[in-house]
C-alpha cells in the first residue's frame, strides 16, 4: 500500500482580511479627520468660553450659601440692613420649605407621640362596645320607667332615651377616632419607608461612577432629595395631625353632651329617690305594716327604689367611662398640638447631618413604629374579645347586677330592711299582745255590766 503524504494545516484568511480592512478604513478616517479638523479649530474659542462660564457658575453656586450665612449677622444691623439684598419676610405660621433636613428629631417626635397615642387609644374599640351595651341598657331602662308609677317617669324616660342616643354617638366616635389613629400611623410608616428608599437610591447613585462626581453635584443632589423627602414627611404629618385634632374635638363635644344628660338624669333620680324613701318611712310606721297587711304596697315601693338605684349605679359606671375617655382625648390633643409646634418650628433645620445618620434614624423609627403598631393591634383584639366574652349569655342581667352592687358600695342603705326583719321577728309577739289587750278590755267591760 502506498504511503499517504503528511497532513499540513490549511492557510487562514486572517492576514488577507486585516490587510483589506486596513486599506479600506484608513482613507475613511483620514477624510473624517480632514473635515473635522478645521471645525474643531474654529470651535476652540467658544468651547473655552463656555467652559470658563460653567466653572464660574458652579463656583458661585457653592460659595453663595456660605457667603449669605456669613453676612446674615451683619445684615441684621439697623443701618447695614439696607445695603443687603432684601427678601420678603414670612410669618412664623406661613408654609416654608426647610433648608435642611433633620430626620432624627422628626422620627423621635413621631415615635414618642404615636407610642403614647397608641397606648391611650388601644381601649377605644372595647370602650365603644361598652357604650353600645350602655345604649341597650338605657333603652330597656327607659321602657321600664315609662310603665312605672314614678312621678317624673316621662321626664326620666326621655332623658334615658337621649342618653342612649348620645351613648351610640360616643361609641361610634371612639371607634372612628381609634381607626383614624391607626390609619395615621400606617400612613407615617409608608411615608418614612418611601423616604428611606429614595435616600438610599440617591446615595447609591452618588457613590457610583458618574460624570457628575467630577463637578461635585452628586452630593448636592442627594441633599436635595433628603430635604425634599423631609418636607413631604412633614406635610403628611401636619395634615394627619389636623385630621386627628378635628376628630378629637368632635369626640370631646359628644362626651360633653353625654355628661350633661347624665347630670340631668341624676337630678331627677335624686328627687324621686328622696320622695319614695320618705313615703316608705311613713308606710313602715303604720300598724298595718306590722301586721303584714301593706306588704303589696311595700313591695311596689321596693321595686321603685331598686329601679332608681339601678339608674344611679348606671350613672356612676357611665361617668367613669366618660371621664376616662375625656382624659385620653385631652392628653392626645395636647400631644398632637405639641408635636405640630415642634415640627413647624424653624429650629428643626439645624446643622448639616450626614446621610447615613438620616437613613439610620429612619430605619430605627420604622422598626419602632411597626413594633408598637403590631402590639397595639394584639392588645386591642384581646380587649375586644374580653368585652364580648363578658357580654355572653344574659348580659343585661349581669349588667344590672353590677349596677346594684356598685350602688350598694356608694349609696347609703336605708334601714327599712333591717326594721322589717325585726318587725317580722316580733310579729307574733305583737299579735299576741294585741289579742291579750283586747281580751283584758272585753273582761273589764263584762265586769262593769255584770
Domain boundaries, the chain: 103-266+317-398
Dist. CA 230–CA 223, nearest whole Å: 10
Phi/psi of residue 115, each to 5°? -65, -50
**Cα–Cα–Cα angle for 263, 269, 273, rounded to 5 degrees:** 150
Share the mean pLDDT of the chain. 66
CA 164 to CA 125: how far, in whole Å? Answer: 18
- pLDDT top residue among 194 and 289: 194
- pLDDT above 80: residue 91: no
Contact 134, 167 (CB under 8 A): yes
Cβ atoms < 10 Å from Cβ of 432: 11
pLDDT value for 336: 52
* C-alpha cell of residue 315: 350613672
H/E segment holding residue 277: helix 217-284
Give the model confidence (pLDDT) of 183-219 as tens digits.
Answer: 888 888 888 888 888 888 887 776 655 444 444 445 5
Q: Per-residue confidence at 275, pLDDT binned at 50, 70, 90? A: low
Note whether 160 and 138 are within 8 A (CB): yes
Does residue 261 contact residue 269 with C-beta atoms inside 8 Å?
no
For CA atoms 13, 14, 19, 25, give the dihedral sign.
Answer: positive
Place of cell 386627628: 244
* Whole-number pLDDT of residue 291: 44
Sign, CA torsion 19/22/25/31: negative
Contact by Cβ (8 Å): 192, 362: yes
Q: How confident is the model at residue 220 (pLDDT cuts 50, 70, 90)?
A: low
Residue 10 pLDDT greater than 60, yes or no: no
Q: What angle do CA 320, 325, 328 make, to 5 degrees?
A: 130
Label each residue of 387-439 as H, E or C: HHHHCCCCHHHHHHHHHHHHHHHHCCCCCHHHHHHHHHHCHHHHHHHHHHHHH
| pLDDT for 5 | 53
C-alpha separations of 38 from 32, 171, 445 in Å: 11, 86, 161
Task: State how far the Cα of 253 lies from the Cα of 245, in Å rounded to an integer.
Answer: 12
Q: What is the pLDDT of residue 249?
A: 78
Q: How many residues does the chain have?
A: 450
DSSP E strands, 71-159: none
Residue bearing the bigger pLDDT, 6 or 113: 113
CA-CA distance, 99 to 304, in Å (whole number)?
Answer: 72
The residues, ordered by sequence, that sit 6+ positions from 266 with a Cβ below 8 Å of its Cβ are: 312, 315
Quick one: DSSP state of residue 133? H
CB atoms within 10 A of CB 248: 20
> What's the rounded Cα separation, in Å, for the pair 301 and 299?
5
Q: How far apart, in Å, are the Cα atoms of 48 and each of 37, 38, 56?
A: 17, 16, 12
Hunting for cell 338605657 — which residue is that? 138
Higher pLDDT, 50 or 315: 50
Question: pLDDT, tens digit, for every residue of 347-359?
Answer: 444 455 677 776 7
pLDDT of residue 1: 45
CA distance 182 to 383: 16
Amino acid at each position: 500500500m502506498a504511503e499517504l503524504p503528511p497532513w499540513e494545516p490549511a492557510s487562514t484568511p486572517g492576514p488577507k482580511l486585516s490587510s483589506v480592512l486596513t486599506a479600506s478604513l484608513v482613507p475613511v478616517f483620514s477624510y473624517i479627520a480632514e473635515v473635522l479638523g478645521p471645525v474643531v479649530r474654529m470651535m476652540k474659542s467658544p468651547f473655552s468660553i463656555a467652559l470658563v462660564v460653567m466653572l464660574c457658575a458652579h463656583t458661585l453656586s457653592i460659595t453663595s450659601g456660605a457667603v449669605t450665612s456669613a453676612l446674615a449677622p451683619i445684615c441684621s444691623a439697623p443701618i447695614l440692613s439696607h445695603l443687603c439684598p432684601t427678601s420678603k419676610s414670612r410669618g412664623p405660621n406661613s408654609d416654608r420649605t426647610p433648608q435642611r433636613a433633620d430626620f432624627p428629631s422628626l422620627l423621635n417626635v413621631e415615635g414618642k407621640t404615636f407610642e403614647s397615642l397608641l397606648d391611650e387609644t388601644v381601649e377605644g374599640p372595647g370602650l365603644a362596645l361598652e357604650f353600645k351595651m350602655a345604649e341597650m341598657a338605657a333603652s330597656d331602662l327607659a321602657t321600664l320607667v315609662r310603665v312605672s308609677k314614678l312621678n317624673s317617669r316621662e321626664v326620666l324616660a326621655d332623658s334615658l332615651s337621649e342618653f342612649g342616643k348620645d351613648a351610640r354617638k360616643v361609641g361610634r366616635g371612639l371607634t372612628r377616632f381609634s381607626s383614624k389613629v391607626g390609619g395615621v400611623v400606617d400612613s407615617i410608616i409608608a411615608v418614612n419607608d418611601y423616604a428611606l428608599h429614595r435616600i438610599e437610591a440617591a446615595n447609591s447613585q452618588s457613590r457610583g461612577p458618574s460624570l457628575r462626581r467630577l463637578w461635585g453635584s452628586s452630593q448636592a443632589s442627594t441633599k436635595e432629595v433628603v430635604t425634599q423627602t423631609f418636607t413631604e414627611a412633614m406635610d403628611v404629618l401636619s395634615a394627619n395631625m389636623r385630621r386627628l385634632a378635628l376628630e378629637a374635638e368632635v369626640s370631646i363635644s359628644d362626651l360633653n353632651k353625654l355628661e350633661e344628660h347624665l347630670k340631668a338624669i341624676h337630678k331627677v333620680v335624686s328627687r324621686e329617690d328622696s320622695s319614695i324613701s320618705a313615703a316608705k318611712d311613713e308606710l313602715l310606721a303604720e300598724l298595718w305594716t306590722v301586721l303584714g297587711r301593706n306588704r303589696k304596697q311595700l313591695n311596689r315601693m321596693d321595686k321603685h327604689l331598686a329601679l332608681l338605684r339601678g339608674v344611679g349605679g348606671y350613672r356612676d359606671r357611665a361617668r367613669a367611662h366618660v371621664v376616662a375617655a375625656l382624659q385620653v382625648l385631652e392628653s392626645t390633643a395636647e400631644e398632637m398640638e405639641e408635636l405640630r409646634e415642634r415640627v413647624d418650628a424653624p429650629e428643626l433645620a439645624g446643622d448639616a447631618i450626614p446621610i447615613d445618620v438620616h437613613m439610620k434614624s429612619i430605619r430605627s423609627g420604622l422598626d419602632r413604629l411597626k413594633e408598637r403598631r403590631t402590639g397595639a393591634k394584639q392588645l386591642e383584639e384581646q380587649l375586644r374579645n374580653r368585652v364580648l366574652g363578658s357580654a355572653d349569655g344574659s348580659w343585661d342581667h349581669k349588667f344590672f347586677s353590677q349596677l346594684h352592687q356598685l350602688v350598694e358600695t356608694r349609696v347609703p342603705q336605708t334601714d327599712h330592711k333591717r326594721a322589717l326583719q325585726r318587725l317580722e321577728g316580733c310579729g307574733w309577739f305583737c299579735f299576741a299582745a294585741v289579742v291579750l289587750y283586747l281580751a283584758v278590755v272585753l273582761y273589764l267591760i263584762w265586769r262593769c255590766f255584770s
